[in-house]
Structure 1
Amino acid sequence: MARIAVIGAGMGAMATAARLAVAGQQVTVYEQGPTYGGALGRRTRDGFAFDTGPGLLHLPAVYRDLFVKTGKRPLEACVDMVQVDPAVRHVLADGTEAVLPAVSRGGAAAALDRAFGAGTGDRWNDVLNRARDAWDATRRPLLEEPLRPDWQVLGRDPYPAVRKSGLLRRRPPTLAETAARELGGPAGELLAARVRAYGLDPAAVPASAAVLPYMEQTFGSWYVRGGMRALAAALYERCLERKVSFVFDAPVREVLARGGRAAGLLLAGGTEAAADSVVCAADPRGLGGVPLPPGGVPARGPGEASRLTLFLALRGERPDGTVHRTLVHSPGALLTVLRPDDPAVVPDAGHEAVTVTAVCPAAGRGPAPDPEALLDLAARAVPGLRGRLLWHEVHAPADIAAATGAAGGAVPPPALAGADGRLLYPANTTGLPGLYLAGGWAHPGGGLPHAGMTGALVAGLIVEGAGFRGSQ
């Protein structure tokens, strides 16, 4: 039985810990803060409850597999998870609306035809068909396998080239160019917005980013009743069932190395914690740098996007027919407005809890949005918002930094192929034997499903060794 020390208690950390524990390892998790969950926090006040991080889960199969592999009770026996339908409502700057149903290509096409004219739905499906090809080409190396030593092959954009005027473009197009050329007009704005919501700039990422809206439309968007924090609580309980130990309020100062390999942790208070292997499931920049193997993907810089979130307590019940997720488009911001139909997040049926989120620069990297301006913009998704507002609170990048330890409160997006590999993350192995990377700052990157997959990858590498090539 090997001793494994895990840095951080976020979702990637706990996914790793649970899988290692069921494989017979002795696992201890060291978390800088007072609780588990990382970005999946919870804010409560006056009977209202809000998620401080992701409000929906895409690709739930990752967590279904995790719970099947680590215990007797499946995921659905541990949380009440429901598919969100309609999947999303778009409110464009000119007031035009489009409401797309869940996991229905025909339904989405019909909705787009109604909103933007005949033929729009066919063009949308053509784009997602090409995104499916990119997904099929990269799903295993980007999500289900440790990063290959020849990761440079992922630097080529897998989105299929499209002929224009009989010629092929010499330079792979960006997502924004793809949206404009293949969809155009409002439908192109919809595709770009679905990528912007991940904190990515459509004008700076390759067309392969279309796999993100493809993933949502194909596998659906899922909500956990009681709030997404309930998913973190279920995973924490699973870890405890597997005898994982947790040490809270235990910041890690550095990873100890002896004999040329990781040998444990030095905690901020000066205490040493010996271990046979160490898993860093937090932003590795907080440790002053992690050695990368020769030729490894360099760590991303500190300028990643963050989120500014408003928690809104409203008087009056949630109207019938309200869509769970609305994206509000504007020239200066894209808002994600979540209005869950969940009695567990409100004091009674006469109130509504609404979460409004905007992508913004990480702390110290640029100006934050004006919360009052965001409230005015959110009123386009919530009629009569100002008159119903009891109070609101702001959750800023600094709050994310405090909860997750990420520099500036940065929120990592998923890894993407293309762009010469600059949208990849460091491999789960490092230049120091016995030190591994998990969570959103390692391959395959951020987001609940991707961070959860790091658990399978790191556990496989530790238990099976360097020859592990992912689940078959």
Structure 2
Amino acid sequence: MARIAVIGAGMGAMAAAARLAVAGHRVAVYERTETYGGAVRRFERDGFSFDTGPALLPLPAVWRDLFVKTGKEPLERCVDLVQVDPSSHHVFADGTRVSLPNASRAGVVAALDEALGPPAGQRWGDFLVRAREAWDRTRRPLLEEPLWPDWRVLGEREPYPAVPHKRLLRTRRAGTLAEVGAWELRDARLTALLESHALAHGLDPRSAPASTAVLPYMEHAFGTWYVRGGLRELARAVYERCRERRVEFHFGTEVTGLVEKDGRAAGVELADGAVAEAEFVVAGVAPGVLDRLVGGTPVRGDGDVPPQHGTASRLTVLLALRGGRPEGTAHRTVVHAEDRESELGSLFGAVPGTAGRPTVTVLRPGGPESVPDAGHEAVTLTSVVPAGGGADAEGHAEHLIAVAERAVPDLRDRLLWHEVLTPADIAEATGAEGGAVPAPALAAADGRLLHPANGTRTGGLFTVGGWSHPGGGLPHAGMSGALVAGLIVEGPGFRGSQ
């Protein structure tokens, strides 16, 4: 039985802690803030309740596996997990609207044909078939296995089987997500639908590899899920599972340094000068924080995947509305930008700025847990912004509200109050510089969208969470916890779940 110190109480860190405790280790978690969950937080005011981080859960099997492996009660006994149907409603630049059913390729094809006209549905359906092939090729190395020592091969080959495209007497294949949209979908609305999955993770579709197609595929194949009461309930359930397995939590306790002995992690130093000894240290922190903790000691080598620091964050506007949620309202509506080039330029241009009318996700979860009574509604608006942005938060919030009125026409008349959460709030919760949000690991693109391996050059030091393999997103956080636990319990020969 080893003593293990976990730095941070984010979702990946808690997933690792629970699995390590079940394996018989003594696990202590040190969290600088006063609560658990990392970016999975909740804001409450006047009887209203809002998720302030992720709000929907893809690929719940990852968390089901955690609960099966760490206790007798399955996930569904610990939280009320429900499928969202429709999975999403979309409002396109030309005013076209479409609702996409949850986890039904045939239903999505039919809905797109009806809303956009044939052959839109068939083109999207054919795209999903190709995206599945990319998923099948990359699922294990990018989600279920430790990062390969020869990780460069993951960046060399594009796993998405793009359709040959003849252009100017040449035959080409799409290498970026934008080219998939332009050459294979051939409809501005379908392209907007496709690219919105990249934008949601802060990825520029013009440079994101075609393998980014796995992101919409995951949603269509495995469905979109909601935890009743908000995803904060999932964080609570994982925290309670850790406590049941006798994981110790020390909140308001900042780790200021890594203790090393004979070139190996030997514990952590705390802000009050105390030292917590440990045979293993699991760091669930952003790269910049890890650099400070190790005090210049290189934990990655020249041949390793370099850490990503992230360039995109999110701005969130919480709206308290009078009047109940109308029956039949979609849980999630995506209002697409009216000017794609302007939006992409503002987010990813040489001098990033604020898009005047960005793509906005409107979340209207309903349910009595989020409102003081049935005569009110809680609505959340989110948009991608450059990391470190938010100087004119109220001005940007006005842009989001104006865009959201395309989905909720009476929004301003019903508005009681609003709160704005900026990248600075994300930075405070997670420690990531500029409030950057990590994207999932993706193949191709010369490996630039991979994340560093969970093991490090310092013996006994492992990294977990969105800034290490397999990257950002709730499913990926859960898998990072499983990978780190496997590497510690079984050693470097661990090859992932079977």
Give the shorter-chain TM-score range.
over 0.9
**1:421 corresponds to 2:447:** yes
**1:306 corresponds to 2:313:** yes
1:410 to 436, 455, 462: 436
Q: Given residue 164 of structure 2, which amino acid in structure 1 is its aligned partner? A: R
Cα separation, partners in 2 of 1:204 and 1:275, compared to 1, 3 Å? same
Check the 8 A contact 2:315/2:390 in 1, yes or no: no
The count of corresponding residues between Structure 1 and Structure 2 is: 470
* 1:312 alignment partner, SS class: strand
Q: CA deviation at 1:167?
A: 5.4
Cα distance between partner residues in 1 of 2:113 and 2:27: 53
Cα distance between partner residues in 1 of 2:249 and 2:13: 11
C-alpha offsets along residues 102-142 of structure 1, whole Å, 9 cap, x if unaligned? 01111100111111111111110111111100000000000
Cα distance between partner residues in 1 of 2:214 and 2:76: 26
* 1:14 alignment partner, SS class: helix
Cα distance between partner residues in 2 of 1:297 and 1:191: 28
Alignment of 1:63-462 (within 5 A): 63-155=63-155, 156-165=157-166, 168-169=171-172, 173-185=175-187, 186-288=189-291, 291-301=299-309, 303-330=310-337, 331=339, 332=343, 333-363=358-388, 370-462=396-488
Stretches of structure 1 lacking an aligned partner (at least 5 in a row): none
Q: Given residue 372 of structure 2, which amino acid in structure 1 is its aligned partner? A: P
Cα distance between partner residues in 2 of 1:365 and 1:121: 38
Larger deviation, residues 5-14 vs 355-364: 355-364
Larger deviation, residues 255-264 vs 10-19: 255-264
Check the 8 A contact 1:18/1:242 in 2, yes or no: yes
Alignment of 1:5-24 (within 5 A): 5-24=5-24
C-alpha offsets along residues 144-200 of structure 1, whole Å, 9 cap, x if unaligned? 000000001110221113212395427x52101111111122111111112211211
Stretches of structure 2 lacking an aligned partner (at least 5 in a row): 293-297, 344-357
Q: Which residue of 2 aligns with 1:59?
A: 59
Cα distance between partner residues in 2 of 1:24 and 1:411: 33
Q: Given residue 384 of structure 2, which amino acid in structure 1 is its aligned partner? A: V
Check the 8 A contact 2:487/2:494 in 1, yes or no: yes
Cα distance between partner residues in 1 of 2:125 and 2:497: 30
Q: Given residue 295 of structure 1, which amino acid in structure 2 is its aligned partner? A: G
Q: CA deviation at 1:365?
A: 9.5
1:463 to 489, 492, 495: 489
Q: Given residue 262 of structure 2, which amino acid in structure 1 is its aligned partner? A: G
Check the 8 A contact 1:197/1:334 in 2, yes or no: no
Cα distance between partner residues in 2 of 1:49 and 1:206: 37
Q: Given residue 349 of structure 1, which amino acid in structure 2 is its aligned partner? A: A
If the length of structure 1 is used for normalisation, what is the TM-score?
Answer: 0.97
If the length of structure 2 is used for normalisation, what is the TM-score?
Answer: 0.92
Check the 8 A contact 1:199/1:359 in 2, yes or no: yes
C-alpha offsets along residues 385-410 of structure 1, whole Å, 9 cap, x if unaligned? 00000000001110011111111111
Q: Given residue 159 of structure 1, which amino acid in structure 2 is its aligned partner? A: Y
Cα distance between partner residues in 1 of 2:373 and 2:390: 40
Q: CA deviation at 1:364?
A: 5.4
Cα distance between partner residues in 2 of 1:471 and 1:366: 44
Q: Given residue 234 of structure 2, which amino acid in structure 1 is its aligned partner? A: L
Check the 8 A contact 2:58/2:475 in 1, yes or no: yes
Q: CA deviation at 1:432?
A: 0.5
Q: Percent identity?
A: 64
* 1:72 alignment partner, SS class: coil
Check the 8 A contact 2:390/2:422 in 1, yes or no: no
* 1:218 alignment partner, SS class: helix
Q: CA deviation at 1:253?
A: 1.2
Q: CA deviation at 1:25?
A: 0.6
Q: Given residue 107 of structure 2, which amino acid in structure 1 is its aligned partner? A: G
Larger deviation, residues 115-124 vs 234-243: 115-124
Cα distance between partner residues in 2 of 1:215 and 1:125: 14
Q: Which residue of 1 aligns with 2:353?
A: none
Larger deviation, residues 190-199 vs 366-375: 366-375
Check the 8 A contact 1:253/1:287 in 2, yes or no: no
Cα distance between partner residues in 1 of 2:79 and 2:56: 14
C-alpha offsets along residues 25-57 of structure 1, whole Å, 9 cap, x if unaligned? 100000010000111100000000000100000
Superposed CA RMSD in Å reads 1.4
Check the 8 A contact 2:287/2:308 in 1, yes or no: no
